[in-house]
Structure 1
Amino acid sequence: MQSLIIAVLIGAVAGWLAGNIVKGGGAGLIGNIVVGIVGGIIAGWLFPTLGLSIGGPLIGAIINSTIGAVVLLFVLSLFRK
């Protein structure tokens, strides 16, 4: 249960940060959580594939999830146009 709460909090922070980085990317609290968690999944797949490793456990997870969420929002913006 504790890891689920931590994942949701990291997802919320990462989604909020990504929404501020990508114009028009803000999606509200629930949307930011979803974008952040999906971003974490994307980064969890993408970074080991590229051989990258960033930071420690908490800050690294936020940075990884934020980068993954930015990638997700960028790809979604391509489809919106």
Structure 2
Amino acid sequence: MEGVGWISWIIIGIIAGWIAEKVMDRSHGLFTNFLVGVIGAVLGGWLARTVGIEVAPGWIGSLIVATIGAIILLFLLGVFFRKR
């Protein structure tokens, strides 16, 4: 997440995790939302670079990438760890 500080990084991670939680119809706590958001930000940033998408630095670009990455992360976790 370029262009943001550590506090912003934490806040963006929590918000992205919360948005992904709502989109994927899951129920997590604050810490899990933070983890999902931060891991999603790393995943989303990697995917954006791999595909060649240029993301604007700052809050909005970081939040969008982190949220998309978090949604993909929750989807993949649901696929691999689905309760049977």
The verdict on a shared fold, with TM-score over 0.5 as the criterion, is: yes
Q: Deviations over 1:10-57 (max 9, x none)?
A: 000000000011122x31100000100000000111101101124451
Deviating 4+ runs (over 6 angstroms): none
Match of 2:24 in 1: 22
The equivalent of 1:52 in structure 2 is 53
CA RMSD of aligned residues (A): 1.5
Amino acid at match of 2:16: A
Tell me how far apart the structure 2 counterparts of residues 53 and 35 of structure 1 sit (CA, whole Å).
22
| Equivalent position SS for 1:53 | coil
Instruction: With the length of structure 1 as denominator, give the TM-score of the two structures.
Output: 0.88
Corresponding residue number in structure 2 for 1:80: 81
Residue identity opposite 1:74 in structure 2: F
Tell me which amino acid in the other structure corresponds to 1:57: G
Matched residues in 1 for 2:49 and 2:6: separation? 23
What is the aligned residue count?
Answer: 79
- Give the structure with the larger helix fraction: 1
Q: Separation in 1 of the partners of 2:58 and 2:8? A: 11
Structure 1 unaligned spans of 5+: none
TM-score, normalized by length of structure 2?
0.86
Unpaired segments ≥5 residues, structure 2: none
